[in-house]
Amino acid sequence: MKIGLVIYGNLDILSGGYLYDKKLVAYLRQHGHEVTMFAQPVAGYMGRLSHNLAWRWADQIVAYQPDVLLQDELNHPSLFLLNWYLKKRLSAPIISIVHHLYTTELKSGWRKFIPQWVERQYLQTVDGFIFNSHATQQTVEQLISQSVRAVVALPGKDNHQVEIDTAFIQRRCRQTRPLQILFVGNVIPRKGVDILVNGLALLPQAQWDLAVIGDTQANSAYVQHLKSQIQALNVTESIQFLGKISSAELRQMIVMSDVLAVPSHYEGFGIVYVEALGAGLPVIAGKNGGGSEIIQHGENGYLVSPTIEEINGHVARLINQPSELKRMSLNAHTSYARFPTWGESMAEIEAFLVAQML
């Protein structure tokens, strides 16, 4: 197959969505398919809307004549009108890769109305969908009020795979030390780091440590607010911002930690949730979105709204009841086995794409 892929910038951007796209491109190329990128410039929302006038850019795709045109749904503001131009000039199906809808990040009200309208218009221009979770598919179908042709291919579990056994997990749970809490993700409001910090600050500082790993430049104003909040709460000695780190360093941090806490307001799937389970870490996850497809509340982690009170209560329980931490850690490790590898998930997408050409 000749496959085109529309993205912003390049696939080296650090995010779960772009990791998914990168894994898909690598898999397709390894299995004999030709994949060509068609990048649109990174811009603010109004700049992205203006991309709909970029006919010459779209003509590059027309000249390529792909068998299938993939689009990262992140590009929806740049394509909601341009897709009609492409559809008139291409015989190829247009397939959207949806990690999560942009409008799930926005609060209700008039500020959400126009972006939601734009996103809905885009979703109605495509011929099929690749979803990272059943929750993401449900969100799309609710927005456009119809069922869609789609494949649900969960992200793979083996990007930061660690080799540990139950004996190691039991030894880790017996250590006498503050509870080692790990956050992994871009440090942005949707991820709920501010709520996590407020919940932890209600606990004795000697009982916990928090390591924050991820891009602190994605929303520098939010990060500055967080650091001011941490100073005001007088918990600076218990919280480290480690920024971006290598894969090897991340694996080591996961192995050394006791709990993963990423209490997102919304998460299309949550790749890091699965990776943490593989190391036997109970996960404190946001309950909205794909987190509920990974975490069984009270078994291998906790699903939260999130609120300060929920965070505080669940962490306090793990601190004060070592047997509970051990039970949930072992459950986490066991539940990891049921998730697919990247190769298995990408094979499902390949089969779906081939079927769209028939």
Q: Taking the CA atoms of 130, 133, 137 and 142 in sequence, report the sign of the dihedral they define.
A: negative
Q: Is the peptide bond before 178 cis (omega within 30 degrees of 0)?
A: no
Beta bridge pairs of residue 36: 4
- pLDDT for the residue 300: 96
- pLDDT for the residue 16: 62
Superfamily for domain range 2-155+341-356: Glycogen Phosphorylase B; (3.40.50.2000)
Q: Name the amino acid, one letter, at 96.
A: S
| Whether the domain at 2-155+341-356 and the domain at 166-338 fall into the same CATH topology | yes
- pLDDT for the residue 305: 93
Q: Taking the domains of the chain in order of start, what are their residue ranges?
A: 2-155+341-356, 166-338
DSSP assignments along 115-142, one per residue:
HHHHHHHHHTT-SEEEESSHHHHHHHHH
CATH class of the structural domain 166-338: alpha beta
Q: Is 189 exposed, middle or buried (0-12, 13-18, 19+ CB in 10 A)?
A: middle
Instruction: Provide the 8-state DSSP code for 218.
Output: T
What is the Cα–Cα distance from 273 to 284, expressed in whole angstroms? 9
- pLDDT for the residue 14: 57
pTM over 0.85: yes
- pLDDT for the residue 13: 67
Can you read off the two tokens belonging to residue 358?
């028939």
Q: Which residues of the chain have pLDDT under 50?
A: none
- pLDDT for the residue 237: 95
Number of H helices and E strands in the chain, helices first, is 15, 12
Q: Taking the CA atoms of 104, 107, 113 and 118 in sequence, report the sign of the dihedral they define.
A: negative
Consecutive H or E run containing 189: none
The residue length of the chain stands at: 358
Consecutive H or E run containing 196: helix 193-201
What is the Cα–Cα distance from 99 to 84, expressed in whole angstroms? 23
- Single out the residue of 190, 240, 207 nearest to residue 320, CA to CA: 207
Beta bridge pairs of residue 267: 289
What is the Cα–Cα distance from 323 to 326, expressed in whole angstroms? 5
Phi/psi at 190 (5° precision) = -60, -25
Write the pLDDT tens digit of every residue in 92-128.
999 999 999 988 877 777 778 899 999 999 999 999 9
